Amino acid sequence: MEEKIVFCKGGGCTAKLGAGALSRVLSLLPKGEPDPNLLIGYDSKDDAAVYRLNDELAYVQTLDFFPPMVDDPYTFGKIAAANALSDIYAMGGTVTTALNIVCFPEQMDLNILGEIMRGGAEKVIEAGGSLAGGHSIADADVKYGLSVTGVVHPDRIYPNNQGRPGDQLILTKRLGVGILCTANRVGEASAQAMEDAIASMTQLNKYAAECCRGYSIHACTDVTGFGLLGHLHEMMDGRLSCVIHASQVPVFPEALVHAGEFLLTAAGQRNRNHAGPFVTFQDIPFPMEEVLFDPQTSGGLLIALSREEAPKLLSDLRAIGQPAQIIGEILEKAGQEILVTSE
């Protein structure tokens, strides 16, 4: 009997290698002569690479692909593309071109692949980019994503680690999609919760990034596989601290329910192991801790900007329907890097 191929085995950004393991590998790579035009490379743990072409133009390069986290191929294609495109927006850039990255079993119905790529193509078009080609290989499991190129002015890049003490931290999307997708695979997530999660994962960060252009953004990243606390750890960069007010963090309510039922991800536990030593929780329930470590697929932007500008940006984000919140503040470096309070 021919073995049945299961389309969704669990994927999205829960499939990422743990941050600690990845850092150890990257630290062993040989380095060539420094290039003054490479403005951001992998050593900064940022969302994408940025290379300066001239005083007015730099290009932004990123790629992202993963296995499905939902059962519908078309929806999976949209989510995977939105997730890959997000890195360009997190750097302050504009999308120009994209290339498909496809791993697909030879014995699987090619109509499934067509639906995945249709979903991805629609998101590239929505982003204002051109789908210019790609590469495919035969594989045991389905994987899909994009290699994306964008452009940005060299003086208007959003690094992830240049926040300043006093900056407010804004998060533009709700947390908990990793836990909801895990619950969905075992039949525990409600149809409404998955509908809401899919709407969030398929929404481009383009619109939040456009709101940011009128402000002095000091630091920005998108919250994906390392969870909110893992990406905050990268943002603090060993030289800053921050306080996060858990009551202000936007969360999918049902994700808290399933976290309390221990419907968790292995990636979330890797995030806890890596970032947990840098975090102090003050009266935070276990389910909320798990949501803060939960790997997000196509998560929101985490933005650092001045206390004076943050309320106006928040108002602009909410005006376009973003469930954004000011979730905390960057502080001078203290004994504990990330403090999470129940306020």
- CA distances from residue 280 to 17, 153, 223, 251, 289 in whole angstroms, order as listed: 24, 38, 20, 20, 10
In 10 A of CB 109, how many CB atoms? Answer: 12
The H or E element that residue 86 is part of is: helix 73-90
182-217, pLDDT tens digit by residue? 999 999 999 999 999 999 999 999 999 999 999 999
In this prediction, residue 338 carries a pLDDT of 98
Full set of structural domains in the chain with CATH: 12-156 (3.30.1330.10), 168-341 (3.90.650.10)
Q: Quote the pLDDT of residue 16.
A: 61
Radius of gyration of the chain (CA): 19
Low-confidence spans in the chain with pLDDT less than 70: 1-20
Measured distance CA(298)–CA(284) in Å, rounded:
25
Active-site residue flag, 8: no
Residue 14 has a pLDDT of 56
